[in-house]
Structure 1
């Protein structure tokens, strides 16, 4: 199972971004999803940097197995889980 989170609609609302990221991580754990695709978009890269900072937090990092940056699409990340 693969979950998808598109952040285009909430790119300028900080709290909503963090809430959406937490919610998708919770859902991935609850449904035992193998992968979460996060789409911060291409833009200036600031949103992607924010998502990467969120995923790099010690308590968040513990929740997933590995992070993959899409080599073909700069505006997409994959978070892989081992349940």
Structure 2
């Protein structure tokens, strides 16, 4: 399973969006079935931003489902088609 840790770049929205976009495109094109994005627990602002970005039309076509991990509040799980 591929993993992206956003802790090192959490302060710059443009860098976050670019990292998430690149990560999702690469995971999708390599045939991954599941990937994770680690946002950390904190105030959940980073998770909210990432989920909003993943919900945009140009991103939704690359995955089947995105959900928060119920066992880990700082983790997003992406299921690809």
TM-score (norm 1): 0.92
The gaps in structure 2 that reach 5 residues or longer are: none
The gaps in structure 1 that reach 5 residues or longer are: none
Structure 1 runs of 4+ aligned residues shifted over 2 Å read none
Deviations 1:8-66 (A, max 9, x none): 00000111101100110111122111111000101111000000100110111111001
The answer for the alignment partner of 1:28 in structure 2 is 27
CA RMSD of aligned residues (A): 0.8
The answer for the alignment partner of 2:64 in structure 1 is 65
